[in-house]
A and B are shown apart, each in its own frame.
Chain A
Amino acid sequence: MREISTLEVTKAIKDLCLQANRVLRPDVLEAIRASLGFEVSPTGKEIMEQIIKNAGLAVSEQLPICQDTGYVGVFIELGQDVLLKGDLTLAINEGVKEAYDEGYLRKSMVACPIFERENTGDNTPAFITVDTVPGDKIKITVIPKGGGTENASRLQMLPVSGGVEAVKEFVLEAAEGAAKSCPPVIVGVGIGASFDKVGLLAKKALLRSIADSNPDPELAALENELLVRINKLGIGPAGLGGRITALAVKIEAAPTHIACLPAAVTFNCHAARQAEAII
């Protein structure tokens, strides 16, 4: 067993929150630059140039890329041979609190979702997913994510008889939500598993690098087909019309029940914030 103090986790979470909020995901910046030439709308081009300029300014001025510095999604891959000293959840929330306070990041969490909706004041709690993996390390991925893109997410239990066509139709219908998600977006699609797990699959799909391709050739082909079709919708940068609506479509699939075909779609906005570290 390798002993790791949760103080190290707090420090990592804090650093990752600051980094993710100020440094645009490099592969996203690269994809914006690369697709600028394919955008035909003058407004769309202008918006993509603003995105590139903003990324530079956020780094030089140490300001968050977007004022909505999000809720903090935290994905932990916890090595089975790690002995954690301390409370993991408390340690993560402490890191979030320190980053959002010291980094002048916006606190956007409310304690009660329906009645008072009073701000918790420190942007906690984080939404934490822990997966156990072999080994003696902890991999931490932080994705602060804004409310606008989150609101455009969709989940549906599709009819099994509908098959792949039902999935395509659902994704393309949900893709209309890209207009409100600060496009160009990354589209994350989850297919299979159960009601509660399929949303997580979609969210995890967003974590994949733009350049990577699904190892399953059928899913890779589906990702490509959906990307082409979404970019024909005309939504364009900022939803103000154009060709570049999505930079990538990423699908994560998992086994499911014989009676089920769950599907979920979620988006990452062009202000994609994500950072990871290994302890």
Chain B
Amino acid sequence: MHYKIHTPLDDNTVAKLKAGDTIEITGTLYTARDQAHQRLVELIQKGQALPFGLKGQILFYAGPAPTPPGKVMGSVGPTTSSRMDLFTPVLLAYGLKGMIGKGPRSPEVKAALIKYNAVYFAATGGVAALLSSYIKKAELFAYPELGPEAIYRLEVENFPVVVAIDAWGGDLYDQNRELYKEA
């Protein structure tokens, strides 16, 4: 199926998405990678407030290139998601509904997606000039000292992703690997 969805995500929207669906996302994404994840989880563990409410939000595992003058955003695309696996279940427990990255996730993340009714999207890696064209507004939001690892708040329009792992245990990486494997 092909869907156009809007952020923040609600439970009904998440529940209808199935691994393999192609999606266009319109709304807000927050970039976060290794160091930002570490900081968010530390705040949660200390019982302190996060820089933004996670409820219904989508995190984009990305560290953009700097924005040239006259452009909304420099090149931006997904980084390898598995590096965030350790942090993900905690964030899902706090209301995070979606993530955009590239590559497979751990069994723990898959279980947490089912438990918290959340979804993992894959964006194409290595096509960052193309992906930046879907970003209509970008703002350096938190942790500027982290440079490319800072949190950016992005407003996107029809941002193209694929449902890689759904809230029902469906995993496109596994399914398609079996489908296209040849003896």
Contact = CB atoms under 8 A, between A and B. Distances in A.
A272 to B, nearest CB: 9
Given A66-B77, A67-B77, A238 B63 contact: no
A65 B104 contact: no
B46 interface: no
A54 B162 CA distance: 18
Interface stretch (A76-84, A104-112, A198-206, A207-215): A104-112
Contact of B65 (A50, A64, A147, A240): A64
B74 interface: yes
Contact of B129 (A63, A235, A242): A63
A104 B71 CA distance: 11
Contacts, number: 157
Interface string B128-140: 1110110000000
A66 B75 contact: yes
B127 interface: yes
A205 B106 CA distance: 32
Contacts of B22: 43, 46
Contacts of A239: 102-104, 173
A104 B148 contact: no
A179 B103 contact: yes
B129 A64 contact: yes
B65 A238 contact: no
Interface string A95-135: 00000000011111000000000010100000000000000
Counting chain A residues whose Cβ lies within 8 A of the other chain, the interface size class is 35 or more
A151 B79 CA distance: 12
Contacts of B129: 54, 57-58, 61, 63-65
Interface in A112-165: 119, 121, 146-148, 151
Interface residues of B, number: 46
Interface string A60-72: 0111111111000
A104 B65 contact: yes
Interface string A37-52: 0001101001100110
A242 B128 contact: no
Interface string B58-80: 00001111111001001111011
8 contacts: A43-B22, A65-B75, A65-B128, A67-B77, A67-B128, A106-B66, A238-B122, A241-B176
Residue with the highest number of chain A CB atoms closer than 10 Å, among B22, B80, B181: B80
A25 interface: no
A151 B65 CA distance: 20
Given A64-B75, A104-B65, A234 B177 contact: yes
A240 B182 CA distance: 15
B128 A53 contact: no
